[in-house]
Chain A
Amino acid sequence: MPTEINSNPAAIEFDSVSYTYPGAERSALERISLRVEPGERLGVLGPNGGGKSTLLKIALGMLTGYRGAVTVDGEPPLTARRRGRIACVLQKCEAELRFPLSVRQVVQLAATQRLSPWKRSNGAARDDVDRALELVGVTDLANRPIGAISGGQLQRVLIARAIATSPAILALDEPTVGIDIEGQARFAKLLDAIHKELNLTIIIVSHDVRAIAAGCDRVACLARTLHFHDAPQGLTPQVLAEVFQHDVAGAFGEVHVEAHTAEDCPGGHVHAHEGGQSS
C-alpha cells in the first residue's frame, strides 16, 4: 500500500512515485517527484505512452497500487477527489450525447453530486452552475440539448462542469486534441481567464507543445521519468523540440515536434536541466 504524506501545503505533491500496470513488463512511471504550488499552472508535456494520463489518474485517485507518496490539497488523492478538491476534464469525452439533458443539466450533474439526495439543488449550487457557464462563455447555450452543440462548445461545457464543483485544482488531459489553431488560441485565453478569476491550480497534460506553451507557468517533460524545465511565458517550440529530443529520445526514440511560428508562441527560452529537476 502506498504511504501518504500529511499536512502538506502543496496543491499536488508526488514523492518518488512509480507505477506499473498489472501484467506490464515496464513501469509507466518511474520515481516521479513533483510539486505543484497552489495557484500554479503546470504543463506536463510528453509523447504518447509517456505516462501523462497515468500521472493524472494517480492525482485523481483513479489508480492505486503505486509506490511512493502522493497528496492532493494535503490529502490522499481519493479523499481529495471525493471532497471535490480536484476536478478534471478527461481526454476522451465518452458522453452519451443523445441523452435528453440540457447543457445546464450536464453542468448541474457534477455541481450537485455531493448534495444530500433529500435536498433540492440549493442557491449556492445554482450560482456555481451559472458562474461556470458564464466564465466559459456558454450561458446562451444553457438550455440547448447537449447533443445539439459543436465540439468546441462541448469542450467549454465540460470545463464548466469541472469548475462548477468549486475545486481547488483543475486537471486537463489533452485538452486541445482535435482543435484547430484558432480554437487552441481561444482555449488558451479561456484558461487564462479561468485562472485569473478563480485562482485555481491548473495541471495540463498534453503531447501538444502549443497547448502547454500557451497556458502554463512551468513545464515538466514526462517520458516515464520526469524532467523539469523553467518555462515562463513564451518558450519557443524550437527550443522545446530540442529539449524533447534530448530528454525523450532515450526512452522513445526520436520524437518529432512540429515547429511553429514565433507568432504562435512568442519568444522566450527554456533551460533544460539534464536528468534532474529545477524550478
Chain B
Amino acid sequence: MKTIEILTGPAADLFWPGVIAAVAIAAQCAALSVLIVLKRLAFLGQGITHAAFGGVGIAAILGLSAGAGFVVVAVFCVLSAIAVGALTEKKKVSSDTAIALLLVGSMSLGAILLHLRLTRIGPTPMAAGWESLLFGSMLTVEPRDAMLAWVVACIVAALLFLKRRPLLFWAFEAPAAEAFGVAAGAMRLLLLTLAALAIVVSMKLAGVVLATALLVLPGAAALQLSRRLGVVFALAIALGEVGVLGGLVVSFETDLPAGPCIVGCLAAILALAWVIPTPKAGTLPGTAGKFLS
C-alpha cells in the first residue's frame, strides 16, 4: 500500500505535517459546517474562501512573512464577509450578487497583486507558490502550518463551547434571539470569523477553490443522517475526518492532488447520506435536551 510506504519512507517528514494538519482542519471545518449549512451560508463560505486569495495577494505585495501573511489573509476574509453583510443589510444589492462580487473581485485582486509581485518586484515564498494555493498541495504544508491548524482548532472549539447557547439561539431564529438579549450581529461576526480562520489554515491543504467543501459537505451529510443536535455535530466531525483522511489516502494511492481527492471523498459521503433514508419526524429520545445543558 503506497500510503504506508509514503508515511514510513525516507520522505515521510514531508507528508506528516499535512496529515497532522488535516486532522485538525477536518474537525474544525466540520463543526462549523453544521451552523453554516443550517444558516444557509454556504455561498457566503464560498465567497470567503475566494476572498482569501485576495488576502494572499495583499500579503505578497507587502512582502510579509508567513505569520504576518496569515493574519492579513484572515483579516481580509473577515472584512470581506462583513462587507457582504453590510451591502446586503442596506439593500443596495442582493446577498448572492454581493457574494459574487466579493468572489470575483477578490480573485482578480489576488491575481493582479501576485502578478505585480512576481514580475515587477521579485518573488517571495508565498507569491511563488500561488498556484498550490488554488487547489492545495500536501507538500506545501509545513510543521508550523500543522501547529497553527491545531491552535486554530482549539480556538474554534473553545469559542463554540463558550458561546454555544447564544450561537445556537441565533442560528435557530436570529430575530427572536435578539429579542431575548442575544447580540445577533456579534454571533454572525463570530461565526464568520471562525470560518475565516478555518479557511486560512485549510488553504495550503485544500486550496482556496476547494476549501468551501470542508465547510459545507460534512454538515450537510450529518444533517441528512440525524435530527439530534449533539449527534449531528459528532457525525459531522466524524464524517469530516473520514472524508479528509480518506481523500489523503486516495491522493497517496493514485498520485492525484490532495485537494480534489478530499472534495471527492466528502462529496461521495454526502451522496451516500442522501441515499440513506432520513430519520422520520417522530419523538426524539428523552435525553434530547442534554446537549444544551
**Contacts from A to B (Cβ < 8 Å):** 60, 62, 81-82, 84, 87-88, 90, 92-96, 98-102, 104-106, 108-110, 112-115, 117, 120-121, 129, 143-145, 147-148, 158, 161, 165
Contact = CB atoms under 8 A, between A and B. Distances in A.
Contacts of B177: 109
Contacts of A104: 288-289
B284 A113 contact: no
Contacts of A129: 289
Contacts of A110: 169, 180
Contact of B174 (A81, A87, A94, A105): A94
Most A C-beta atoms less than 10 A away, residue of B39, B161, B171, B176: B176
Given A110-B180, A158-B176, 13 more contacts: A93-B173, A94-B173, A96-B172, A96-B173, A100-B229, A104-B288, A105-B229, A113-B166, A115-B165, A117-B164, A120-B293, A145-B281, A165-B180
B171 to A, nearest CB: 7
A121 B293 contact: yes
B291 A105 contact: yes
Nearest to A92: B175
Nearest to B230: A100
The bracket for how many chain B residues form the interface is 35 or more
A112 B165 contact: yes
Contacts of B285: 143
Interface of B: 38-39, 161-166, 168-169, 171-182, 223, 226-229, 231-232, 281-286, 288-289, 291-293
25 contacts: A60-B179, A81-B181, A90-B175, A90-B179, A94-B173, A95-B176, A96-B173, A99-B229, A100-B231, A101-B168, A101-B172, A104-B289, A109-B165, A109-B169, A109-B177, A110-B180, A113-B181, A120-B293, A121-B293, A143-B283, A143-B284, A144-B284, A147-B281, A148-B281, A165-B180
A113 B180 contact: yes
B288 A113 contact: no
Given A94-B176, A110-B180, A143-B286, A100 B232 contact: yes
A95 B229 contact: no
A129 to B, nearest CB: 8
A99 B293 contact: no
Given A96-B172, A143-B288, A62 B179 contact: yes
B181 A94 contact: no
Contacts of A144: 281-284
Given A108-B292, A113-B180, A143-B286, A99 B169 contact: no
Contacts of A165: 180
B161 to A, nearest CB: 7
A113 B227 contact: no
A113 B281 contact: no
A105 B289 contact: yes
10 nearest interchain CB pairs? A148-B281, A95-B173, A102-B288, A121-B293, A117-B162, A120-B293, A109-B169, A143-B284, A104-B289, A82-B181
Contacts of A147: 281
A132 B139 CA distance: 57
Contacts of A88: 179-180
B289 A109 contact: no
Contacts of B39: 96
